[in-house]
Chains A and B, each alone.
Chain A
Amino acid sequence: METDSILKQDQENKQEIGNADLVVGILGEFEPDGVAAVCDALRTVSGSPRIAILHDGPAPNVSNSAAPEGSASLFFVPSPLATPEAPGGSLLSVMAAYQSVFVASEKLGARGCCVIASQIEAPPLQWVRQLAEPLLDRDVDLVVPHYARHKFEGLLNGSIISPFVRSLYGKRIYNPMGPDLGISRRLFSKMLGAELRAGGGGIHPLASLAPMAACSNLEVCEVHVGARVYPPTDWMNISSLLARVLDPVFVDMERNAPCWQRIRGSVPVTAIGEPIFVSQDTGSVDIQRMVESFQLGNRELQEIWSLVLPPATLFELRKLLRLPPEQFHMDDALWVRIVYDFALAHRLRTISRDHLLKSMTPLYLGWAASYAREIQTAGALALVQRLERLALAYESGKPYLVSRWRWPDRFSP
């Protein structure tokens, strides 16, 4: 319904606005200065394109006449949609916000669109331009960010989403769910078409973009950007976050099953810019708390896990109960099998999907504790190597997933 209102409004405004080469949705909570900095960055996009900016808040005073000759011309289009908090924020508001950018881009006849949703530690001048230019200059279909990482940040992406998408779809994309993204007309039209066919449900603009690009053999590239500023952890709502983020990923996996079952191994995607390394002096993590959560779950949730996990995995998990926090270690292969088994149970609807994903929280915290203990003193290079090891474990576990996916009845826990 919100998308419809956007459509109507866009149709009314289109006569006045005209066409745009690029639409940029600024969805994060930016101060006027931040928006102005993004605008300055967009002016430097090569080829003097006409850029429409969708923004909820007050628009800064951007005058095209004051801009240097040959720079991009900008104009604001107010977005009637709420600003999403993050990819795991209110699912409807995130979906609606991204959809609004796609619809506006379609209506304005844009060649591509960008979404700026994060605060980045580095000034936006370079990375915003790098996100936009490949769409216009190189005919790339999906531009994803490769954020510089602090070792304890983006854990959900690092431990599940990125290696999972890599092993399924064979593309080494480090942040497949953005949230800062560049999308070509070809790709967002596909997304809108799929959304229309799905009857307004089931296509998550963030979770579906990278799989759709990979399965349609579209061009994907990565842009190296600075470290993203993450919101502080809300420990009371981790299970809801996990459920909200993993549900669309697993739903998409089911939709694309014919595609990913054919893919073996992975290939890197084109990278733009140089990798940025940031300081890894980040302070210590409370591992004890996470291990306690894991152990409580391991004691109390056996009844639920036994519906999802095979006996060998349950046995391995029970062995972890005896380990003290200072020796706690969850093997990558075990973690990968757990993720794949939960993905399969999600497909089979073994139990309510909400219950299933929320019951995964102690396991996730267990892996996070093991990871945090392992890389506590690691530097930037060791961090990259550690994540690569995990990604390879996902790839080597894929035959297990494929066989269980094809013949789920051969094994019932």
Chain B
Amino acid sequence: MWGQIKQALAQSTARFLTRFADLLPGLAALIVALVLSIIVAFILAVIVRRLLTSLQFEQRLSRWGFSSMADWSPMNSPTLLVSRSIAFLVILTGFLIGIAAFDAQWTSLFAQSIFAYIPRIVGAVLVLMVGGVIARFLGRSVLIGAVNMNLQYARLLSVGVKWLVIVLAVAMALDHLRIAAGIVELAFGILFGGIVLALSLAVGLGSKDLVTKSLERDARRSANEQYEDPLRHL
């Protein structure tokens, strides 16, 4: 009886040690792949950063109309954004190579599902980027237009429009990624409606003064019909 127990224990220990020993090369390979990819990522990031700096990438970007990229970049530097993105991609690739060393079948399935998801991620990132650019452009248009129309709540309108577009872009991106589609739709509806309602209320309440002022001005003018602004611009 005791012998059988000892034998079973020895067998299970041997099995565990064998399995563990099987895993060790994979684990070592993962660690090596990660370390190597981190080193390569670091070197690549430095090279890319220097290259972009020498090409005056940030100035060129703002000349091409992508100045809003800075807002979305770490430390307001699109150069850092690009170099860090490249470094992240290299590390991710190293990680996938390391994972593949464990179990070819499982990792190939894992890699397949990740690669199948990449187009969605790229699509979502594009939607976010375009949304960001449009949000900034429209926000700026509204701000300038409202200031030129002498609207005291110009900033509020501009921020409202900007966030409407950003919320729309984020909802579209999440929907594209198929992340909690139902919740996203609901949350988007609530947020979008909330922003529109808040803007309407703010503008409506704010325009009370505007209408009063405008009526007062009209009343002043009708009282003094002789008045005509002699300013002529062109």
Contact = CB atoms under 8 A, between A and B. Distances in A.
Interface string B196-234: 000000000000000000000000000000011111111
A300 B147 contact: yes
Interface stretch (B78-86, B118-126, B137-145): B137-145
Nearest to B152: A296
A362 B230 contact: no
Contacts of B140: 304, 351-352, 355
A131 to B, nearest CB: 20
Given A239-B144, A301-B143, A153 B63 contact: no
B105 interface: no
Most chain A CB within a 10 A radius of its CB, from B67, B137, B234: B234
B227 to A, nearest CB: 7
B227 A283 contact: yes
A233 B231 contact: yes
Nearest to A285: B231
A233 B65 CA distance: 33
Interface string A83-118: 000111000000000000000000000000000000
Contacts, number: 102
A362 B148 contact: yes
B230 A282 contact: yes
Interface stretch (A154-162, A314-322, A324-332): A154-162
A150 B231 contact: no
Nearest to B58: A412
Contacts of B230: 150, 152-153, 282-285
Contacts of B5: none
Nearest to A362: B147
A297 interface: yes
Given A238-B148, A412-B59, A155 B233 contact: yes
B65 A359 contact: no
B4 interface: no
A137 B232 CA distance: 35
Contacts of A232: 228-229, 232
A17 interface: no
A372 B231 contact: yes
A296 B150 contact: yes
A368 interface: yes
Interface in B67-109: 67
B231 A152 contact: yes
Interface in B139-170: 140-141, 143-145, 147-150, 152, 154-155
Contact of A368 (B64, B228, B231, B234): B231
A294 to B, nearest CB: 10
A210 interface: no
A230 B148 contact: no
Contacts of B234: 86-88, 154-157, 230, 241, 245
A409 to B, nearest CB: 7
Interface string A267-295: 00000000000000011111001001100
Contacts of A381: none
Contacts of B147: 293, 296-297, 300-301, 359, 361-362
A236 interface: yes
A299 B152 CA distance: 10
B18 interface: no
Contacts of A300: 143, 147, 154-155
Nearest to B154: A300
A13 interface: no
B156 to A, nearest CB: 10
B62 A155 contact: no
A286 B63 contact: no
A215 interface: no
B232 A230 contact: yes
A150 B154 CA distance: 34
Nearest to A245: B234
A349 interface: yes
Given A86-B234, A349-B65, 8 more contacts: A87-B234, A156-B234, A232-B228, A284-B230, A285-B229, A300-B155, A304-B143, A304-B144
16 contacts: A87-B234, A152-B231, A154-B233, A155-B232, A156-B234, A232-B228, A232-B229, A233-B231, A238-B148, A239-B144, A239-B148, A296-B154, A300-B147, A304-B143, A350-B63, A361-B147
Interface of B: 56, 59, 62-65, 67, 137, 140-141, 143-145, 147-150, 152, 154-155, 227-234
